[in-house]
Amino acid sequence: MISSSLIPCGQFKTTYAADTTIFLTPASRYWCFAGILLAAASPLVLSNYLLALMIQIGFYGIAALGLNILVGCTGQISLGHAAFFGFGAFASAWLNNSFGVPVLLAIPLAGVMTTLLGLLFGIPAGRLKGLYLAIATFASQFILEDFFARANWFTGGSSGAMANPISLFGMELSGDKSFFYVVLFFVVVMYLLGTNLLRTRDGRAFVAVRDHYLSAEVMGINLTKYRILSFGISSFYAGVGGALYGHYLGYVSAEGFTILLSIQFLGMIIIGGMGSVMGTLMGTAFMVLLPEGTEAAVSTIKHFTGDIPALTSALAYIKEAAIGLAIVLFLIFEPDGLVHRWRLIKSYWKLYPFSY
């Protein structure tokens, strides 16, 4: 769960405003800027394949941040995030195809549409919690999946919908390189918004609801309002992420948004660290790279043992099993996620030769 990170000596705060800045230390701010600059420069160096992976991390990361605000910060469980992600993708394609809304505008608008849907599906969240909510969202995943397959006017039914590439000032941003900057822009904006949200009254109210809902209510937090609001915000993120996904692939079909993707989203935030903005990105990167890593591992094994046909044919399932296994192992051995591990590494090096 979110906790105070290591604040180096000399970084004491004297005002409340200073204590609630987005970046707790100047060093973290510089690192963040450096990271963005590095990411912006990466298309010059990286191959298209690696770039495609980075783009995936980008749009999944946006959606995962929404889920982290809902699950990690507000303590509400959602097993239907992929359905909202998919709704965003369809909504953006629909706005663009049916009404000619420019794609760059359709993406946030799709986010807004998904928010409305999320508020609707969040109504049970006002009344249920924990396990019951998990089951309710589980049901909403299936209901929405069914809706995608059926609503021809909206999703194109079983044949799917075409999503046009993004065009800006008459330039079409369709290649991996140019789309990378679009995704980077959205990632930066959405992550800034997310971090900012968590230091406002609403963000702190979410955390209060998570930590002890009775105390939160005593302190004047309207539980129902904040629970549903959290659903709405998380759906907005899912919608924007989904819209980017749709316009990146150029084609949206209902098969992509199954319960497995919902579970992967949950896996991202568990592996990254619940309630941590930074961890979300780490977890997403882990989850996106996991199948690649598995494939590399399998080909290494094959390199030593010669070709095993059974292994090749089972590769898709091995990748799937790796996802499940990663979630289980992380929950048993590192329930605080990669971000916790990262802090341990930092503290180790801070005190390096004398660890006490």
Partner 1 sequence: MGSSLFLQLLVNGLIVGTLYGVVAMCFVLIYKSTQVVNFAQGEFLLIGAWTCWWLVTSMALPFYVAFPMTFLFMMVFGIALQMIVLRPLIGEPVISVIMVTIGLSIFFQAVMKSIFGVWAQPFPEIFPVKSVDILGLSVQPAYLMSLVVSVVIMGAFAWFFKYSRMGLAMRATAFNQQVAQSLGISVKAVFATAWAISAMVSALAGVVVGMVNGVSSALSFFGIKVFPAVIVGGLDSIIGAVVGGLIIGVLENLAEYADGQYLHVGNLYTVAPFYVLVIILMIKPYGLFGTKTIERV
Task: Please give the Cα distance from 48 to 300 (Å, whole number).
Answer: 23
Nearer to partner 1, 46 or 223 (CB): 223
Q: How far is the CB of 211 from partner 1 (least distance, A)?
A: 11
Q: Is position 120 an interface residue for partner 1 (rule: CB under 8 A)?
A: no
Torsion of CA 327, 210, 112, 33, to 10 degrees: -70
| Cα dihedral across residues 216, 217, 218, 219: positive or negative | positive
Task: Please give the Cα distance from 73 to 208 (Å, whole number).
Answer: 9
Residue 336 contacts by C-beta under 8 Å, 6 or more apart in sequence? 1, 273, 274
- Between helix 277-305 and helix 315-333 the angle, nearest 10°, is 130
- Cα–Cα–Cα angle for 117, 119, 120, rounded to 5 degrees: 65
Q: Which among 151, 149, 126, 124 has a CA at the least distance from the CA of 137?
A: 124
Nearer to partner 1, 103 or 323 (CB): 323
Residue ranges in 141-160 that form contacts with partner 1 under rule CB under 8 A: 142-143, 146, 149-150
Q: How far is the CB of 208 from partner 1 (least distance, A)?
A: 14
The DSSP 8-state label assigned to residue 343 in this structure reads: H
Residue 311 contacts by C-beta under 8 Å, 6 or more apart in sequence? 298, 301, 302, 318
Residue ranges in 308-337 that form contacts with partner 1 under rule CB under 8 A: 314, 317-321, 323-328, 331-332, 335
Among 213, 251, 295, 334, binds partner 1 (CB under 8 A): 213
Q: Is position 223 an interface residue for partner 1 (rule: CB under 8 A)?
A: yes
Among 33, 49, 132, 181, binds partner 1 (CB under 8 A): 132
Q: How far is the CB of 308 from partner 1 (least distance, A)?
A: 12
Helix, strand, coil percentages, rounded to 5, for the chain: 75, 5, 20
Nearer to partner 1, 98 or 312 (CB): 312
Beta bridge partners of 161: 252
Nearer to partner 1, 77 or 244 (CB): 77
Q: Is position 71 an interface residue for partner 1 (rule: CB under 8 A)?
A: yes
Site string for partner 1, 239-278 (x = CB under 8 A): ---------------------x--x--xx--x---x----
Helix or strand or coil: residue 7? coil
Size of the site for partner 1 (CB under 8 A): 47
Q: Would you give the end-to-end CA distance of the chain in angstroms?
A: 25
Nearer to partner 1, 130 or 250 (CB): 130
Q: Which listed range, 58-66, 97-105, 126-134, 185-193, lies at the site for partner 1 (CB under 8 A)?
A: 126-134
Residue ranges in 81-110 that form contacts with partner 1 under rule CB under 8 A: none
Nearer to partner 1, 43 or 273 (CB): 273
Which residues are near partner 1 by CB under 8 A? 71, 77, 79, 123-124, 126-132, 134-136, 138-140, 142-143, 146, 149-150, 213, 223-224, 260, 263, 266-267, 270, 274, 314, 317-321, 323-328, 331-332, 335
